[in-house]
Amino acid sequence: MSPNSSLLTPHSSLSSPNSSLLTPHFWLITGGCGFIGSSLVSYLLEMKAGLRIRILDNLSVGGRKDLVTACGLQEAESIASDTWQTGGGACELVAGDIQDPEACFKAAQGAKIVVHLAANTGVGPSVDDPRGDMQANVLGTLNMLEAARHSGAQKFIFASSGAPVGEVSPPIHEELAPHPVSPYGASKLAGEGYCSAYFRTYGLKTVALRFGNVYGPGSTHKSSIVAKFIKQALAGEACEIYGDGTQTRDFIYRDDLLEAILRSARADIGGEIFQIATSKEHSVNEVSEFIKQKLKKHRIPMEIIHTEPRLGDVQRNYSDTTKARNILGWTPKETLDSGLEKTVRFFLAQASS
């Protein structure tokens, strides 16, 4: 099923999953109204596999509209209901907070695959409010693990990041001792720790995926580098680089990430951590220049300014993804050039609609 919105790019680069493997499954996606969550909902429903998807989201960042669009519905079709039947299956939104254990228990009832994406995202907010970050990311994750174990879930996929590893000599890999720099890194590390413990103590098949910097269509509200620069340029504002811009990141296109989530759901593994990125290191200066050139083709100027480095940011970050390739059979497909092109086109289409 193709989403109705012309702003959503179909997930054409994804491999065609064997839908029979997924048919009996009932997915719970926390944070399913957000960038990655709503993209995952859209992707799963495109499989036409008769899936059942429940979303638990407190609507603090992503909203009902994002989800309705991801389900390929017009907003008018969904008035007065939080349950939608789509060509790809049934989708249900539960508005609730992962910090509320009861909401987590209720949401997990019947779910076989839990994808835990809801979180306090990003380094900046965690530096401003480390306690709030801990409550959402540590207690929230513990609540979801408890809910998943008691409801008999078969798989628990946790959205982690490179941040738990912190300031080390890259490439980051799964065996490096973690030294988180930011409170966000510390809270994601705690989540990874609980995932390991829930597999080894209770047998819940957990998989922690350490996402690189995810970009792509649908990232409208994100303040990470790619989305932020394109939005600032389109608004005629200067694009702000923290520090001298030599800091490096590993940028992964949305659809490659979704494929990794899907493969983790299918694989018969537990208690594992995987780096999910591209194994390529790009500086912030380099990426901003790529975006500048792409926008220039559309006669959109991009002014770059440098401001103070941000507390909690690491200088270099890219991943070694050998383990994901060997165990999940996963490799990223999208080049930075083509992924950025699709992302710029998404924002341009959105700006002109």
Ligand X SMILES: NC(=O)c1ccc[n+]([C@@H]2O[C@H](COP(=O)([O-])OP(=O)(O)OC[C@H]3O[C@@H](n4cnc5c(N)ncnc54)[C@H](O)[C@@H]3O)[C@@H](O)[C@H]2O)c1
Work out which of 3, 17, 62, 217 binds ligand X, going by CB under 6 A. 62
Work out which of 3, 11, 26, 31 binds ligand X, going by CB under 6 A. 31
CB of 249 to ligand X, least distance (A): 9
Instruction: Return the ∠ at Cα 38 (arms to 188 and 165), rounded to 5°.
Output: 20
Contacts of 129 (CB under 8 A, 6+ apart): none
- When asked if residue 346 is in the footprint of ligand X (CB under 6 A), the reply is no
**Unique residue bearing structure tokens 């991801």:** 70
Of 188, 208, 92, 206, the C-alpha closest to 149 is 206
- When asked if residue 273 is in the footprint of ligand X (CB under 6 A), the reply is no
CB of 64 to ligand X, least distance (A): 10
Given the complex with ligand X, which of 37 and 300 has the nearer CB atom? Answer: 37
**Unique residue bearing structure tokens 């994002």:** 66
Work out which of 199, 211, 274, 347 binds ligand X, going by CB under 6 A. 211
- When asked if residue 55 is in the footprint of ligand X (CB under 6 A), the reply is no
Looking at 184, 194, 198, 253, which residue is catalytic? 184
Is residue 117 within 8 Å of 159, Cβ to Cβ? yes
User: Residue 16 corresponds to which amino acid?
Assistant: S
Given the complex with ligand X, which of 182 and 300 has the nearer CB atom? Answer: 182
Task: Tell me whether residue 215 is one of the annotated catalytic residues.
Answer: no
| 59 SS3 class | coil
- When asked if residue 220 is in the footprint of ligand X (CB under 6 A), the reply is no
Of 257, 278, 296, 259, the C-alpha closest to 336 is 278
Given the complex with ligand X, which of 300 and 328 has the nearer CB atom? Answer: 328
- When asked if residue 35 is in the footprint of ligand X (CB under 6 A), the reply is yes
Q: Is the dihedral of CA 206, 212, 218, 222 positive or negative?
A: positive
Given the complex with ligand X, which of 42 and 300 has the nearer CB atom? Answer: 42
Give catalytic residues, as residue numbers: 184
